[in-house]
């Protein structure tokens, strides 16, 4: 009998103990909810799979999409959903179209998402696989010839991309590959307002960190050239080549003026890495340091390879790019094919030693705006013999418009000038100005079709007779949009072989490229974003 | 003996049903969180020792506007709130099914003297895994884990005051 009251007490104590140690609430990280007050940022960072999405209107209504997509003009969200009033009663259920001007906040809930910095970047890349891009007939025919570019810059209003004066950070295809890029604008101007137009003409998201004008004061009869190591050189004496031989053919007529009349060869049908040589000869009038000037751009070979690589990634492209972001080794592997193809190797002939001296290898990504670049080298001839320079490059990979010889008298330090004003749709955009006026964590997001007018205040030159020779300095990266047609070619094994420089795979690529090569330029230019509208 | 068992059963049931204070019936299930369009539930402690709770309608620089369970709107100054809990959702999609599980430990009284061992074990398993989850919530605590800026994301109107809105329109109760 004595045990019964004790039993009750024990049970009570145990019950109370377990009752209290049981937690009523599970505390979680509140960052599972993400909100975007800026439509562009949402478009850039939106989730891979269009699923639930909540859009708060400025007037207090809210729509919950259970499926959605961006309109072709990127200016509205369209999908199936329910629209609720202020009291959260359903107003409509079905097709909903929401214009950007109605949106106050866009909200996503990712309960399982990790929210460290790396994952935020990965989320930023997820748009790669998510958007059902509107592709024109040309792209469907030959998907890998679709127009792609980084931001294009123009001095004048034109819709002809052939007249682009610069294309910025072409090789920065992921956040971790963000890097600055300097391009010659090939223009001389006086002080005052200088306008530059920045466009997104491709199916890409451009993420621009900073844009500057590099202004070098120069005399009327002199020239400032951008060269190796992002140095700037002053010259007053530039001469054309007297001969330019490749395979026994003199191509000098192609290389004696920056006129768009370019020399280019076709790729080898079995070996994309096959090289060619161009032997340049110049009269020797050099008094200071000689420098070989080249005006060049890439053919569409690298574009073809990049698009091929992305199509092999298929619907796993987000995962691959996440690996690119987080692994140095993967980034290095990605560069393998481009290392194999290489840049333009420059050699100068040492007449005393009777041998070619390797000077440097130059590489600039991009098939749109040509690069104007100088490579200084040491003059070893003292007997007045012609100066001989050899270029070695991959067949079918480069288009040369000009080759000249500069007499460099000094290196100079130009001024770097941020924009004073940015206009979008003819209206000042102070937020955009802040975003691109500093190398920091704030980025300007530019979507297909976007056009920005950048104004720069150029100061009075020290000598009133001088002018400014201008260059563009830009930093950022861009994200290619995946075309639906590419997803059908998913082939991870082939991607691996491509990155490991497997000979058989590269031979097949060479054959495939050959079938497109002759028509690729025309298809590429005809498929820019504007032409797909 | 029989009277003792009845007493123990009642005590156990009371404990099971009182281990967690019943949270707002307005909370969504986790599976419905994506489509839930109202604000999250906030329960706050105020400097004078009182408490306030309700759906977060809007948070501005100085105040929190709540819609109470009686359908009334209540404004609380942020600077008098010492502590708060914001409930996001229930922790289960099936609270009704779990209700019956509350009675499982009661069956332990049929174990006779072995109840000394089996009842605590039953409680140990059932309370945290069933009873708590049936009435528990996914939540976050202010100010330990969240700031006012972040809490505003969980308001019915995270964008702030919609222009021309009279909050009395949002009341649902009798007043």
At B13-67, the pLDDT tens digits run: 555 555 555 555 678 887 778 788 999 999 999 999 999 999 999 998 889 999 9
Q: Which of A4, A13, A15, A91 to mutate to test the interface with B (most CBs of B within 10 A)?
A: A15
In chain A, which residues have their Cβ closer than 8 Å to the Cβ of B6?
A: none
Q: Is A229 a residue whose pLDDT tops 90?
A: no
**Dist CA A386 CA A351 (whole Å):** 10
Q: What is the ipTM of this complex?
A: 0.76
Best to test chain B binding among A1, A55, A60, A83 (most B CBs inside 10 Å)? A60
Structure-block tokens of residue A418: 């941020």
Q: B2 touching A, CB under 8 A?
A: no
Least CB–CB distance from B137: residue in A10, A25, A87:
A25
Q: Which residue has the tokens 């690996």?
A: A323
Contact assessment for residue A411 and residue A232, using Cβ atoms and an 8 Å cutoff: yes
Between CA A240 and CA A340 the distance in angstroms is 31
Residue A276 has pLDDT above 80, yes or no: yes
**Coil, strand, or helix at residue A2?**
coil
DSSP collapsed to 3 states, A130-181: HCCCCCCHHHHHCHHHCCCCCCEEECCCCCCHHHCCEECCCCCCCHHHCEEE
Name the residue among B116, B140, B170 with its Cβ closest to that of A7.
B116
Residue A321: is its pLDDT beyond 70? Answer: yes
Instruction: Indicate yes or no: pTM above 0.80.
Output: no
Contact B87/B139 with Cβ under 8 angstroms?
yes
Across the beta sheet with A243-246, what order do the strands follow? A249-250, A243-246, A275-282, A387-394, A344-350, A355-362
pLDDT of residue A429: 93
8 Å CB contact of A18 and B18: no
The minimum CA-CA distance between A8 and chain B, rounded to whole Å, is 7
Highest-confidence range of A69-73, A176-180, A440-444, by mean pLDDT? A440-444
> Which residue in the set B7, B131, B172 is minimally distant from A8, CB to CB?
B7
**A336-390: pLDDT as tens digits:** 777 778 899 999 998 888 899 999 999 888 888 889 999 999 876 667 789 999 9
Residues of B in contact with A84 (CB under 8 A): 37
Residue of A nearest to B128 (CA): A22
Name the token pair of B59: 């948070």
Q: Measured between CA atoms, how close is A85 to chain B, in angstroms?
A: 10
What percent of chain A is predicted at pLDDT more than 90?
34
Cβ contacts of A88 on chain B, cutoff 8 Å: 37-38, 156
To which residue do tokens 């002018």 refer?
A: A467
CB B66 within 8 A of CB B58: no
Partner A contacted by B50 (CB < 8 A): no
Among A213, A165, A197, A156, which Cα is nearest to A458's?
A213
Q: Distance (Å) from the C-alpha of residue A32 to the closest C-alpha of chain B?
A: 11
Q: Is B88 on the interface with A (CB under 8 A)?
A: yes
Q: Kindly state the percentage of chain A with pLDDT values over 70.
A: 79
User: Which residue in A253, A262, A285 sits closest to A405, CA to CA?
Assistant: A285
Q: Coil, strand, or helix at residue B40?
A: coil
Between A75 and B173, name the one with better pLDDT. A75
B123 touches chain A (CB under 8 A): yes
């Amino acid at each position: 009998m004595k045990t019964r009251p004790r039993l009750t007490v024990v049970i009570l104590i145990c019950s109370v103990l377990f009752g209290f140690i049981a937690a009523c609430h599970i505390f979680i990280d509140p960052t599972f909810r993400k909100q975007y007050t800026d439509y562009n940022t949402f478009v850039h960072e939106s989730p891979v799979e269009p699923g639930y999405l909540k859009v708060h209107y400025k007037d207090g209504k809210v729509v919950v999409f259970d499926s959605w997509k961006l309109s072709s003009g990127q200016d509205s969200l369209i999908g199936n959903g329910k629209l609720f009033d202020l009291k959260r009663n359903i107003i409509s259920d079905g097709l909903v179209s929401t214009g950007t001007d109605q949106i106050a906040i866009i909200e996503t809930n990712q309960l399982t998402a990790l929210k460290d910095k790396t994952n935020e970047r990965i989320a930023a890349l997820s748009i790669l696989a998510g958007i059902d891009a509107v592709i024109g007939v040309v792209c469907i025919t030959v998907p890998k010839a679709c127009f792609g570019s980084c931001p294009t810059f123009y001095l004048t209003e034109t819709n002809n991309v052939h007249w682009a004066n610069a294309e910025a950070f072409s090789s920065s295809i992921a956040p971790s590959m963000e890097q600055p890029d300097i391009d010659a604008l090939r223009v001389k101007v006086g002080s005052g307002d200088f306008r530059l137009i920045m466009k997104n003409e491709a199916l890409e998201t451009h993420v621009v960190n900073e844009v500057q004008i590099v202004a070098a004061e120069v005399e009327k009869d002199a020239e400032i050239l951008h060269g190796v190591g992002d140095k700037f050189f002053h010259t007053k004496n530039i001469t054309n080549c007297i001969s330019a031989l490749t395979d026994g053919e003199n191509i000098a007529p192609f290389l004696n003026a920056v006129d768009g009349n370019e020399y280019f060869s076709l790729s080898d049908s079995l070996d994309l890495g096959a090289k060619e040589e161009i032997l340049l000869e110049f009269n020797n009038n050099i008094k200071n340091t000689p420098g070989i000037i080249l005006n060049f751009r890439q053919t569409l070979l690298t574009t073809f390879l990049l698009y091929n690589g992305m199509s092999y990634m298929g619907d796993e492209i987000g995962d691959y790019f996440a690996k690119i972001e987080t692994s140095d080794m993967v980034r290095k592997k990605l560069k393998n094919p481009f290392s194999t193809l290489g840049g333009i190797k420059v050699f100068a002939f040492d007449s005393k030693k009777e041998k070619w001296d390797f000077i440097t290898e130059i590489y600039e990504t991009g098939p749109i705006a040509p690069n104007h670049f100088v490579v200084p080298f040491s003059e070893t001839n003292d007997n007045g013999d012609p100066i001989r320079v050899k270029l070695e490059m991959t067949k079918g990979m480069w288009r040369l418009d000009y080759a000249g010889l500069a007499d460099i008298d000094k290196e100079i330090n130009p001024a770097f000038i941020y924009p004073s004003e940015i206009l979008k749709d003819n209206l000042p955009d102070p937020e955009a100005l802040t975003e691109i006026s500093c190398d920091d964590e704030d980025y300007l997001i530019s979507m297909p079709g976007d056009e920005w007018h950048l104004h720069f205040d150029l100061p009075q030159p020290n000598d009133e007779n001088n002018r400014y020779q201008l260059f563009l300095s830009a930093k950022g990266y861009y994200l290619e949009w995946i075309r639906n047609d590419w997803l059908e070619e998913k082939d991870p094994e082939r991607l691996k072989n491509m990155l490991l420089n497997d000979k058989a795979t590269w031979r097949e690529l060479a054959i495939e490229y050959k079938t497109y090569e002759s028509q690729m330029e025309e298809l590429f230019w005809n498929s820019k974003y504007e032409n797909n509208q | 003996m029989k009277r003792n068992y009845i007493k123990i059963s009642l005590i156990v049931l009371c404990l099971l049903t009182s281990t967690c204070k019943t949270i707002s019936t307005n909370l969504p299930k986790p599976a419905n969180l994506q489509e839930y369009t109202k604000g999250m539930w906030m329960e706050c402690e105020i400097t004078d020792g009182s408490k306030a709770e309700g759906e977060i309608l809007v948070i501005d620089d100085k105040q929190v506007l709540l819609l109470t369970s009686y359908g009334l709107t209540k404004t609380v100054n942020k600077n008098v709130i010492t502590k708060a809990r914001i409930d996001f959702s229930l922790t289960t999609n099936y609270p009704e099914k779990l209700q019956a599980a509350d009675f499982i430990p009661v069956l332990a009284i049929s174990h006779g003297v072995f109840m000394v061992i089996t009842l605590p074990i039953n409680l140990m398993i059932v309370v945290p895994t069933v009873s708590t989850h049936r009435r528990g919530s996914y939540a976050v605590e202010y100010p330990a884990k969240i700031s006012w800026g972040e809490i505003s994301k969980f308001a019915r109107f995270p964008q702030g005051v919609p222009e021309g809105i009279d909050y009395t329109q949002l009341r649902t109760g009798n007043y």
